[in-house]
Structure 1
Amino acid sequence: MEKRGILYEGKAKQLFETTEPDVLWVTYKNQATAGNGAKKETIAGKGELNNQITSLIFEKLKEKGIPSHFIERLSDTDQAIEKVEMFPLEVVIRNVAAGSFSRRLDVEEGKDLPFPVLEFYLKEDALNDPLINDDHVLALELAAEEEVAELKKQARHINQALISLFKQAGIRLVDFKLEFGKTKEGTIILADEISPDTCRLWDLKTNDSLDKDVFRQDRGDIIPLYQEVLNRLNQL
């Protein structure tokens, strides 16, 4: 398989066509962003770590019977993935009150929620990825009713798998963002990435951040933290 022309470039990844029509080539970038791109910085080694962490997590989920678009890790910064039609949605699962949830609803950060709270966000940079509900998804024709139900079902199942995985690594899964796509056969599967860029991860004993919040809040270097997450997952 060979890499061809670029299809898309986002904040953290580049997407390329390949010589195989149903396979895409993803390159993870060293760019860190926050505030919908308002804060931006190149951080050496970040792309490599996110690629390795995401690849490892997708492999662990596959072992648990959870499919994704991930095919294989090609290099330190590159993956091969199945070509899917992406839903223009972010599905966020919150297990613990933190971040925008705490600010919006005046809930003490770090409080365990009585059940995992699921939220939809519209993927639209111009609108700053607004929070939307099921009716918005249906009214805007972003997904059909049965697809919304399937997205929720899969997200909650993935949450339970990830809680268990991270707990084994001594990590508390506070909240995280998922994206999904449809295969050419119409099957909905997990896509995009799962990394400290897309998850809020706290050390199980100290509650110290092991994720991009450290960059968002100017609290230090994220590379040792991302490396710590990878090291712990590799030991499982």
Structure 2
Amino acid sequence: MKLTYEGKTKDVYELQDGLFLLKFKDDVTGENGVFDPGANTVGLTIDGAGRAGLSLTTFFYEKLNAAGIPTHFVSSSINDATMTVKPATVFGNGLEVICRFRAVGSFLKRFGAYVKEGQTLDSFVEVTIKDDDRLDPPISQDALEMLHILTEGEYAVLKTMTQEIAQFVKAELAKKGLELYDIKLEFGRDSQTNELILIDEISGGNMRAYKDGHCIEPLELEKLMMATIK
């Protein structure tokens, strides 16, 4: 297999059959040694975080595939911390789509004059451009279409899918007494059908989940979610 991309939390390899292999790392995003799913730098390394993230990702992707939601997921190997996926093209140089249920993180920093910490939000969706040098700036629907990053109409599909998937994840967490505050998702176009599909991971590394008012770390989230399943 051929290494095609080295990421912060995953490396990507192209397989001979045209599929791709994602190798999950133990690195998580954050700043100054503190976990933050919204950060654009690696903040710390947690032993076992890669396998934990893949385990939870597999759990969600298998359920989403069964529900008929289009994703790039094919299979995974938890022991090897690898996931096999269908090829997809990203929008521009990559977008991150955040669905927010409560005001925390960067949303609170930007709009703190108008909201209180933890204030309820109505499945608020915002899109940011993946650009480390510019600190992943937010971008509007008009700009996405004007800059030809999304075609006309794709934003509506993106928003609907984001809210649907986020509500799905939120409901699964609620079964374990957890509350989803926000989640960061990524999408692309299926390289064969051009259909908009969910890509990347769905794990503790790209969401904020709380229990009894405390934010749950990625490894602990995986343990809580998978405890009665394993």
TM over 0.5: yes
Code of the residue aligned with 2:156 in structure 1: it is: A
Aligned partners of 2:42, 2:22: CA distance in 1, in Å?
Answer: 23
Asked if the contact 2:29/2:41 (under 8 Å) is kept, the reply is yes
Deviation at 1:181, TM superposition (A): 1.0
Q: Are the counterparts in 2 of residues 49 and 230 from structure 1 also a CA contact under 8 Å?
A: no
CA distance in 1, matches of 2:5, 2:171: 33
The more displaced of 34-43 and 120-129 is: 34-43
- Alignment partner, residue 127 of structure 2: 120
| 1:216 match | none
Identity of aligned residues (%): 30
Q: Does 1:178 align with 2:199?
A: no
TM-superposed CA distance for 1:37, in Å, is 5.0
Tell me if the contact between 1:210 and 1:226 (Cα under 8 Å) persists in the aligned partners: no
Q: Distance in 2 between matches of 1:152 and 1:55?
A: 23
* Deviation digits for residues 171-195 of structure 1 (CA, Å, limit 9, x no counterpart): 1111111111111211111111111
| Cα distance in 1, alignment partners of residues 133 and 61 from structure 2 | 30
After superposition, what is the alpha-carbon deviation per residue over 1:50-108, rounded to whole angstroms, capped at 9, x for unaligned? Answer: 01111111112222221210111123201111111122211111011111111211121
Amino acid at match of 1:81: V
1:44 to 1:13, Cα distance in 2 relative to 1, 3 A: same
Residue in 2 that maps onto 1:129: 136
Runs of 4+ in 1 over 3 A off after TM superposition: 35-40, 222-226
**Aligned-partner SS, 1:15:** strand
Partner of 2:82: 78
Offset, 1:160: 2.0
Name whichever of 4-13 and 31-40 sits farther off.
31-40
Deviations 1:142-185 (A, max 9, x none): 11121111111111111221221111121111111111111121
SS in 1 for 2:205: coil
Partner of 1:214: none
The residue number in structure 1 matching 2:111 is 105
Q: Which runs of 5+ in 1 are unaligned?
A: 212-221
Matched, 1:196 2:204: yes
| RMSD between superposed Cα atoms in Å | 1.7
| Alpha-carbon distance between aligned partners in 1 of 2:172 and 2:15, rounded to the nearest angstrom | 32
Return the alpha-carbon distance in structure 1 between the equivalents of residues 132 and 199 of structure 2: 19
Q: What residue ranges of structure 2 are gaps of 5+ in the alignment?
A: 32-38
Instruction: State the shift of 1:225 in Å.
Output: 4.4
Separation in 2, partners of 1:38, 1:166? 26
Contact residue 183 and residue 208 of structure 2 kept, 8 A? yes
Question: What is the number of equivalent residue pairs in this alignment?
Answer: 217
> How far apart in 2 are the matches of 1:27 and 1:108?
39
Q: How far apart, CA to CA, are the structure 2 residues paired with 1:192 and 1:104?
A: 26
Q: Secondary structure at the match of 2:43?
A: strand
* Structure 1 residue 208 displacement after superposition: 1.4
Give the deviation of 1:42 after TM superposition. 2.5
1:145 partner SS: coil
**Are the counterparts in 1 of residues 98 and 183 from structure 2 also a CA contact under 8 Å?**
yes
- The TM-score with structure 1 as length reference comes to 0.86
Paired residue type of 2:119: K
Q: Deviations over 1:12-53 (max 9, x none)?
A: 0010011111x1011100112325455533221110100111
